[in-house]
Structures are given as structure tokens and as C-alpha cells.
Amino acid sequence: MSMRSTIILAFAASLLTLSAQAEGWRSYHNTRFGVTAEAPADWTMGAAPENNDGRVFVSPDKSAEIVISGIFSISPREEEIASRLVPNEGETVTYKKRGAASVVVSGIKGDRIFYRKSMLSCHGAIWNDLSIEYPASEKAKYDAVVAHLASSLRPGSGYDWIGKCK
């Protein structure tokens, strides 16, 4: 096989891989708060809430749930970051990371694993949030899902905020 044929085959294989990856995920953009993230394409997206703050995605077997949403920042940044690092009732935090304008918290709640990532946007006026909860017994299955979700989270301005966040 010639060098040119090898390069063409490698390029075609990479295109097929990218196509398969793109088909496995769908992008969600919240028009109110600007948060964007990807959810597995075969998960069911719930109806939009009246306040249009985000969406819930449920796994095909209904054992796991993703929430992609936004909320207004109402307290000083340091207070809100600190409060997002505190576990909710019944949770044990096993991992936390704090950035200047972001927070990641993960841990166990009963027989389930949770992961939450939050990023400030719009000059600190909006929190863009992503969370997933799934059975602890299926951790290996969900590790790649969590990694993809976390890397896909993008803060931004919602269509309602265009011009106000620049």
C-alpha cells in the first residue's frame, strides 16, 4: 500500500470516528442563561420548565439523570463558591475543586454518585451548571460520560443577555 493510500485511509477512519462521536452526543444551549453542554443523544430531554432555566436529560434505562441549567448569582462570589462546595443533605463529598470562577464537587449519596460543575459567566452575574447522578454500581460505565459532560460545559450569554455580558 502506498503512503498516499495509507494517509487517505487514516483520514477516512478519523472522519468516521468523529462522525460516530458526534452522533453519540447532542448539544444543548439554554437561551435564557447561555449555558451550553452536550448530553448523550439517546437520553430523553425533559420539557422546558416555565422559567426556562435549563433541562433534565434521563438515561434510556431511567437510572441516571443530567441537569444542564443556569441561575442568577445573588450573593458575593466568595459566598456562592463556598456554598457550592458544601455537601447537600445525605451527601459525602469525595472530590472538590475550586477555581476563581468555577466549582466542581463529586461524591456519594446513598447508593448513587453525583457530579456537579458550575461556572460563572456574564461578569459574575450568572452561574452555568451541570450535574449528573447515577448508580454507584455503574461507575465504570459512567466515567467516560462524566468526563465528556464536564469538558463540554461552556458558559456564555443567553439570547436574552446578548450585549449585557460583553
Residue 35 within any structural domain of the chain: yes
Residue 6 within any structural domain of the chain: no
Q: Are 154 and 129 in contact (CB under 8 A)?
A: no
Residue 1 within any structural domain of the chain: no
CB-count exposure of residue 45 (10 Å: 0-12, 13-18, 19+):
middle
SS3 breakdown of the chain: % helix, strand, coil, rounded to 5? 30, 35, 30
Q: How many helices (H) and strands (E) does the chain have?
A: 3, 9
- CATH number, domain at 150? 3.40.1000.10
Query: What's the confidence (pLDDT) of residue 159?
Result: 60
Residue 16 within any structural domain of the chain: no
Answer whether 0.75 is exceeded by the pTM: yes
Residue 38 within any structural domain of the chain: yes
Find the domain containing 141 and state its range. Answer: 26-161
Residue 126 within any structural domain of the chain: yes
Query: What's the confidence (pLDDT) of residue 26?
Result: 96
Query: What's the confidence (pLDDT) of residue 131?
Result: 97
Ordered DSSP codes for 79-132: HHHHHHHSPPTTEEEEEEEE-SSEEEEEEEETTEEEEEEEEEETTTTEEEEEEE
Q: What is the chain's pLDDT, residue by residue, as a tens digit (166 residues)? A: 554 443 333 333 333 333 334 469 999 999 889 899 999 999 999 999 999 999 999 999 999 999 999 998 888 888 888 889 999 999 999 999 999 889 999 999 999 999 999 999 888 888 999 999 999 999 999 999 999 999 999 987 666 655 566 5
Residue 100 within any structural domain of the chain: yes
**Cell numbers 452575574 label which residue?**
125
The count of domains in the chain is: 1
Query: What's the confidence (pLDDT) of residue 157?
Result: 67
- Residue 37 has which C-alpha cell? 453542554
